[in-house]
Amino acid sequence: MKTPINTLIILISLLFLVSGCGDQNHQKRTDLIIFHAGSLTIPVKQISEAFQKENPNINILTEAAGSVACARKITDLNRPCDLMLSADYAVIDKFLIPEYADWNIKFASNEMVIAFNQKSMMTAEIDKNIPIKILLKDDVRYGRSNPDTDPCGYRTVLCLDLAETYYSLPNFAQSVLQKDNRFIRPKETDLIALLQTNTIDYIFIYRSVAAQHQLKYFTLPDSINLKNPKYANWYKNATVEIAGKKPGEKIKQYGEPMIYGLTILNDAPNKDLALKFAAFFLDKNKGMAIMKKNGQPSLVPSPSREWNKIPEPLQQFALPY
């Protein structure tokens, strides 16, 4: 029996449509969603670009914010997310585990410094013995990030607390914290523009970020900068209260060495791809090599309390606690 010409035309048209849809699906890029600390903006961009060279059909959607703010996007706003990279591993422990994530891999360290520029006020008067005292000068303006949204913000408070004890400076921390509150920003990288436009003279920031943006900075003693694990017990003497999980709730944050953390969310939209990216990120010859170039030494592998819950492909990047 002959097929009517009109029916034949319709069938051919349908075949072309199906074929076209197939080509579009084949070329469709897969999204990977990453929330990360502002201090990781440059290395995450570089690592993402390197990963995409090996995986060209991947579309990596990165979103920078203070680490606490990143966590709250997940817990409070129910935002979809595959991976979270925190400037403080404890944010993952306190806000995401066990309801939103099962494990945490520690991957890098950092330290606090105070950055300035060539036009900053009173740089010639910086006390070489106690440089942090420059912040007390009336003519000096300084910036810091918000302790309730950003680890760099509460680490700033902890540094000031430690400096007060270390240098025997009564009321030093409170005096500095009461100054210049109009220059508090959601995350530490938001302060860079204020510094570069001479709106402020000094900012508390991570050493890696200062180096990445070619900022001038002075360092702080290991007893203050939260860098050295040997001073872990000393750092605990400093505390600060920050916003907790629930509105109005406060939690106490103790001083401790800076350690960054990574996790994949339990309901990650693309968990297999997230695992692949995490393995690339944590590889000493790939992601960690890029982190090192950006001023953040690798801590991989580090002990993890949730080691047995870490997906098997990633267990090599951690150690049983």
Say if CB 219 and CB 113 are below 8 A apart. yes
Q: pLDDT by residue for the chain (321 residues), tens digit each?
A: 455 555 545 544 544 444 444 444 444 569 999 999 999 999 999 999 999 999 999 999 999 999 999 999 999 999 999 999 999 999 999 999 999 999 999 999 999 999 999 999 999 999 989 999 999 999 999 999 999 999 999 999 999 999 999 999 999 999 999 999 999 999 999 999 999 999 999 999 999 999 999 999 999 999 999 999 999 999 999 999 998 888 889 999 999 999 999 999 999 999 999 999 999 999 999 999 999 999 999 999 999 999 999 999 999 999 998
pTM for the model: 0.87
How many residues in total does the chain contain? 321
CA 156/CA 70 separation, integer angstroms: 19
Token output for 318: 């951690």
C-alpha 268, offset from chain centre = 18
Three-class DSSP labels, 132-169: HHHHHCCCCCEEEECCCCCHHHHHHHHHHHHHHHHCCC
Confidence (pLDDT) at 23: 43
CA 153/CA 147 separation, integer angstroms: 4
Q: Walk me through the domains of the chain, giving residue ranges and CATH numbers.
A: 26-109+260-320 (3.40.190.10), 112-254 (3.40.190.10)
CA 200/CA 190 separation, integer angstroms: 12
Confidence (pLDDT) at 17: 47
320 phi/psi in degrees, rounded to 5? -60, 140
Confidence (pLDDT) at 21: 46
